[in-house]
Amino acid sequence: MKVVILAGGTKSTISDEWEGIPKPMVEIGGRPLLWHIMKQYSCLGFQDFIVCGGYKVNVIKNYFRDYYIYQSDITVDLSTNKIEIHKKITEDWQVTVADTGEFSSTGQRVSKIEKYIDEDFFLVTYGDCLSDIDVNDLITFAKENNRLVTMTAAHPTGRSEVLPVDESNLLKNLNSVDKSESNAWANACTYVLKKGVFKYLNGNYELERQLLPVLSEKKEIAVYRHRGFWCPVETKRDRVDLETRWNAGMAPWKIWKE
C-alpha cells in the first residue's frame, strides 16, 4: 500500500533557522520531519512513498537524490571531483517526489498523483505531524468499514485544555474526569482513502473543508479513534517540545531501533 505525504505547503516559520524551506524539511534531532514520518511507516512495513511537494519542491528532491551523501561519510578528490562514499547508509524505500504546485489545495495535490495509485486503498498523511498511530490497525479498521474515507481522530493538543462542561453549564469535577476519555476529538490528518475518492477531488477541493463535508453526508467517512500520541508541528514551541523528547530518548513516534 502506497503512502502519500502532503508536503507542499508554504514556507516554514517554525524556527528562524529553518525559515524559507518546506515545513516537512524542518529538522528534529538532525533529521527532517519528513524522514521521521517515513521511518515510522517503514518500520511498520510501508516502503513505497509518494511525496506531494509544492513550495521549494527541489529541496525535497535534492534531499532524496543525495540521500547517500547526506547519511554517509564522504571523501572528495577536489582535483578530479571524484566522490568516495563510505559507510553507505540508506533505506529500503521507493520515493516518488511529485511537484503538485505551489498553490494547490490538499485535494488537488492528491488528485495529481492518481496516476501513481494502483491499489484500491492508499494512505494519505500530512508532512508536519508526528504520532504513534498503529497504521496497520488503522488499515484493518478501514477495510472492515469499507468507506471511501477513513480518517484518524486524536485528542487535541496544545496549551488549551478541553473543559468538561455538563448540560446544565456547570463545570464537572475535574478530579473525577478521565481526560483520556474526553469527548473532544481533532482530525489527526492521517487517512486511508479508497481509489473511488478521486472522482470527488476536482476543482479547488480542500480535503477537510470541502471533501469531508460532502462525503459525510453520503455516510462515506469512518472515524478511527487514536488515543495515543499525536502532535501537529505548528509553532516554535511544538518543535522545541519534539526536539526535547527526541534528545531525551522519549520520542513516542520512534518505534524503530537504530
pTM: 0.87
**pLDDT the model gives residue 235:** 85
Q: What is the mean pLDDT of residues 19-33?
A: 89
- For the segment 105-142, what is each residue's pLDDT rounded down to a tens digit? 899 999 999 999 999 999 999 999 999 999 999 999 99
Residue with cell 511537484: 99
Query: Can you tell me the distance from the alpha carbon of 67 to that of 123, in angstroms, rounded to the nearest whole number?
Result: 24
Query: Can you tell me the distance from the alpha carbon of 61 to that of 57, in angstroms, rounded to the nearest whole number?
Result: 6
Fold of the 3-71+94-158+190-247 domain: Spore Coat Polysaccharide Biosynthesis Protein SpsA; Chain A (3.90.550)
- For the segment 38-54, what is each residue's pLDDT rounded down to a tens digit? 999 999 999 999 999 99
Question: Average pLDDT over the chain, rounded to whole?
Answer: 87
Q: What is the mean pLDDT of residues 180-205?
A: 82
Q: What share of the chain is helix, strand, coil (3-state, %, to 5)?
A: 35, 25, 40
Contact criterion met (CB below 8 Å) for 32 and 17: no
Quick one: CA dihedral 25, 27, 28, 29, positive or negative?
positive
From first CA to last CA, the distance across the chain in angstroms is 25
Residue 166 pLDDT level (bands cut at 50, 70, 90): low
Q: Where are the domains of the chain?
A: 3-71+94-158+190-247
Residue 34 pLDDT level (bands cut at 50, 70, 90): very high
Contact criterion met (CB below 8 Å) for 102 and 8: yes
